[in-house]
Structure 1
Amino acid sequence: MPLLNFLLSSPACICLLCLVFFLASLYFPRSFGKPNFTFPPGPTPLPIIGNLHLLDMKRQDKSILKLAEKYGPVFTLHFGFQKVVVLTGYEAVRDALVTFTEDFVDRPPIPIFEEIQRGNGVFFSTGELWRTTRRFTMASMRNLGVGKKLIEQQINEELGFLVEDIKSFKGEPFILRTFNTAPTNITFALLFGERFDYKDPIFTTLLRLIDEVMCLLGSPFLHLFNFYPFLGFLFNAHKILLKRIEDVRIIIREYIKTSKQDINANSLKSYTDALVFKQREDTTKRENLFNDDNLIASILDLVMAGTETTATTLQWAVLLMMKYPKIQKKVQEEIGRVVKPGHWATYDDRKDMPYTNAVIHEVQRFITLLPHVPRSTSADTHFRGYFLPKGTMVIPSLTSVLLDRSHWETPHEFNPNHFLDADGKFVKKEAFMPFSLGRRNCIGESLAKMELFLFFTGLLQKFTFQPPPGLTETDLDLTVPKTTFTLRPQPQLTCAIPLE
């Protein structure tokens, strides 16, 4: 019982449990005493903690997979006082997110994100505010070149800076997090209209703050705050996180201030500029959705999610090439056949590089980077024989899809052949959904795909990645990722051996 062991290890948490027990004595006779035949089956909840004793707080996704073996693809869990419906496996998740996309389009009120965003932004807002902000964000990104040759040129320019940075280590070991700089810089250039030198104080400060926030979001104490927000005075993780978020907001406010002073309708250089210009356009409307709070929240969302996911995937990609040198060599040979010497690969080259494309897809499948992001029902919903009232929290498990045995031959092994046919041609797989599906799918999917392909091929075009001296491939552990907001690889070192 991982959660009980964690709770009982702390005197403060023992006091917490006593207080929760007192409060719950008032709640549970009214809640669990009533029969309920509308929700899917699930394990019987305990007083106060519900089913939390069945979850590993560091790997909730793996706990969910085990429970699905007993209760099926649709089941109910109790997170403390909250009832949650869990969806597992490709069929159930796709059914909800695609067939019933409008019914499962909302986000539930998660306490920590309510504290941070107050219902604003791109990711955790709902209703008309979400629809308008998301639509505007996607249009703005297209106008800034996302999905076009312009952004491809920027990515390749950034690749050049990353390669030079890696060369400076001269084959000596360096940390995997070094690879965060390039994809982060692409996002910052879109958000703020300029790329940063890797040693720029603002850049290094933002990298540090993003790292701290992501780590705090994976803290077991942060989960406890989300389960029992009324006991927030006993916890510290969410307080530290809110301070770090405010530090990021200070930087964002300065960029908004500068944009308001220098705005030029004929030259919108960044997402911040676009938001500020939109805000001015909408001042005549009775309800201005693009108020300062929503501007800051929208930029904050992209600062965090827009940097963490691609940067962490690139770390995993390098680590997996270290672990499987034969796969790395095969990718390099394909790059050598397709890409002209002295040139970078283009995004269109992926059509002629099936093995490399398969490896990149398999990296994303294998690492299950973002196990799930909760949804909630936007209306009373009948789903697979069950009745889910409006506002029901729903967890569509992406891990369960990316590891679904009925769709992947060796789900728990790193196997690029998952995306290749018998002739070695690349094959799309319907169960490949690391970016989720439906109207809430990842807003940066097209940019992430382009970045991963260009950065990955460019790095393997210039370097072979090896474990540091004294270690071999077998010493590299992939089984226990570091749990933050995403599943990161454990902090490790790599050596980049130049190919030229």
Structure 2
Amino acid sequence: MDLVVVLVLSVFCLLLLSLWRQSSGRQRLPPGPTPLPIIGNILQINTKNINKSFAYFSKVYGPVFTLYFGMKPTVVLYGYEAVKEALIDHGEEFSGRDVSPLSEKTNKGLGIAFSNGKIWNVMRRFSLMSLRNLGVGKRSIEGCVQEEAQGLVEELKKTKGSPCDPTFILGCAPCNVICSIIFQKRFDYKDQDFLTLIEKFSENLKIRNSLWMKILDVFPALIDYFPGIHNRVFKNASQARDYILKEAKEHQESLDMNNPRDFIDFFLIQREQDKNNQDLFTLDNLVITVSDLFVAATDTISSTLRYGLLLLMKHPHITAKIQKEINLVIGRHRSPCMQDRSQMPYTEAVLHEIQRYIDLVPSSLPHVVTGDIKFRNYLIPKVIHFLLRSTLLFSYATISYHSYNPHLNTDTHTHTHTP
């Protein structure tokens, strides 16, 4: 009986503490729906369509509003104007990254995606410089992409037109491109090391997007004391780390300081030359940075390819116009190249429209402000998290087609949709 009384009193005190924290904090933050004790606004949010909930809240409370995920307040900036004002006019103050408890344990504040301050600045600048030197964003990487595109086509041909799930194949192609940049090697789609690497990163990404991870973000104490699939993240991260470290050691043995071959070589050379930041250019930071590049490159591109194929299947009249332009400009006996873009305005426009329509990362990654800031007459403290949701109500694909290519008899415009 005494134990029951203690439990009831503990729960009651916890509820009072939650109500006090929420009421004291809400006075200084932007308006928002009234949160419940402990669980916050979770029951008021459509977890299957968070964007729909954000759109509703923005109509009620304006483009800047506060939601509670558990007892953690989060400011949401909804709409192009609010996001632009935050990231452009106050870019430095809004540049902080919110690191979840699980990411803190796996990334340890290193890499690019979940780091802040000096580490983020140095690693971001170094990675951009190294990737540009390796041809990313330039014509010099075109051959690598063309080779992988051809390999992707060959894999699809093996299905012989029968129904299939292309998710795995569409994930292998961008992963192989990033492998050529990081490891200077292209893997066969059946290579065991390659398959293991993809499996570990894909599984971790899937777990991180699960409901259980959202619960752990709200109640981080569960990570250390409860079993669950989050422990699988640690195991997968450890196995991926072992493979990247093995590659790094092989690179060290054959390193030519004057002739870097790939991203790992650039990192190892920078580690030797940059005496002021030797504490940053460690093997641990190399592993986390490479992992960030893998996830950022493979998941976004493979998802875009998958959604793009789905949209083209749903709109065969658009697909027919693209095919007509491809036949006219490229033909069937060579691979497309960057120079073809200027002669293929319709295809270019559809690609932009696909990227707009699918809304790939609708809320970006969670951020924090780097210091207390007054934004639109609201005081946002340094400890407050915020989400970005930019709604693009225009379309890249609304272009005059005949003005570019008078030889084709097609519609002058594509149709726009607002998701």
Normalised TM-score (structure 2): 0.89
2:160 is equivalent to residue 170 of structure 1: yes
In structure 1, list runs of 5 or more residues that go unmatched. 1-16, 409-416, 427-500
Alpha-carbon distance in 1 for matches of 2:38, 2:345 = 52
The equivalent residue for 2:257 is 265
Task: Work out which of the residue numbers 84, 100, 121 in structure 2 matches 1:94.
Answer: 84
Task: Work out which of the residue numbers 314, 336, 351 in structure 1 matches 2:342.
Answer: 351
Pairwise CA distance, 1:164: 1.4
8 Å contact kept, 1:58–1:218: no
User: Residue 221 of structure 2: SS of its match in structure 1?
Assistant: helix
Pairwise CA distance, 1:339: 1.6
Alpha-carbon distance in 2 for matches of 1:226, 1:198 = 35
User: 1:71-470 to 2 correspondence within 5 Å?
Assistant: 71-177=61-167, 178-232=169-223, 233-234=225-226, 236-282=228-274, 284-285=275-276, 288-372=279-363, 373-398=365-390, 401-402=391-392, 407-408=393-394, 419-423=397-401
Normalised TM-score (structure 1): 0.75
> Which deviates more, 350-359 or 229-238?
229-238
Alpha-carbon distance in 2 for matches of 1:35, 1:239 = 33
Alpha-carbon distance in 1 for matches of 2:283, 2:371 = 30
User: Residue 109 of structure 1: SS of its match in structure 2?
Assistant: coil
CA 1:74 to 1:255, structure 2 compared with 1: closer, same or farther past 3 Å? Answer: same
8 Å contact kept, 1:57–1:220: no
User: Residue 314 of structure 1: SS of its match in structure 2?
Assistant: helix
User: Residue 32 of structure 1: SS of its match in structure 2?
Assistant: helix
User: Residue 362 of structure 2: SS of its match in structure 1?
Assistant: coil
Pairwise CA distance, 1:287: 5.7
Pairwise CA distance, 1:165: 1.4
CA 1:328 to 1:218, structure 2 compared with 1: closer, same or farther past 3 Å? Answer: same
Q: Spell out, residue by residue over 1:23-67, the C-alpha distance to the aligned partner (whole angstroms, 9 max, x if none).
A: 733632541342643311001111001111112334333322222
CA 1:250 to 1:26, structure 2 compared with 1: closer, same or farther past 3 Å? Answer: farther
CA 1:24 to 1:154, structure 2 compared with 1: closer, same or farther past 3 Å? Answer: same
Alignment length (residue pairs)? 395
8 Å contact kept, 1:108–1:391: no
Alpha-carbon distance in 2 for matches of 1:280, 1:140 = 15
8 Å contact kept, 1:219–1:237: no
Alpha-carbon distance in 1 for matches of 2:359, 2:330 = 30
8 Å contact kept, 1:354–1:425: no
User: 1:42-61 to 2 correspondence within 5 Å?
Assistant: 42-61=32-51
8 Å contact kept, 1:355–1:420: no
Alpha-carbon distance in 2 for matches of 1:18, 1:79 = 24
CA 1:267 to 1:59, structure 2 compared with 1: closer, same or farther past 3 Å? Answer: farther
Alpha-carbon distance in 2 for matches of 1:20, 1:105 = 39
In structure 2, list runs of 5 or more residues that go unmatched. 1-6, 405-419
User: Residue 319 of structure 1: SS of its match in structure 2?
Assistant: helix
Alpha-carbon distance in 1 for matches of 2:129, 2:384 = 31
CA 1:33 to 1:345, structure 2 compared with 1: closer, same or farther past 3 Å? Answer: closer
What code does the residue aligned with 1:210 have? F
Alpha-carbon distance in 2 for matches of 1:425, 1:228 = 57
User: Residue 249 of structure 1: SS of its match in structure 2?
Assistant: helix
The equivalent residue for 2:52 is 62
User: Residue 74 of structure 2: SS of its match in structure 1?
Assistant: strand
CA 1:19 to 1:234, structure 2 compared with 1: closer, same or farther past 3 Å? Answer: farther
8 Å contact kept, 1:382–1:388: yes
CA 1:50 to 1:21, structure 2 compared with 1: closer, same or farther past 3 Å? Answer: farther
8 Å contact kept, 1:377–1:389: yes
Q: Which is greater in Rg?
A: 2
Deviant stretches of 4+, over 4 Å: 17-23, 422-426
Alpha-carbon distance in 2 for matches of 1:321, 1:336 = 17
Pairwise CA distance, 1:366: 1.3
The equivalent residue for 2:417 is none
Pairwise CA distance, 1:349: 1.9
2:21 is equivalent to residue 31 of structure 1: yes
Identity of aligned residues (%): 36
Alpha-carbon distance in 1 for matches of 2:10, 2:308 = 44
Pairwise CA distance, 1:280: 2.1
RMSD (Å) for aligned C-alpha atoms: 2.2
Alpha-carbon distance in 2 for matches of 1:75, 1:425 = 44
The equivalent residue for 1:492 is none
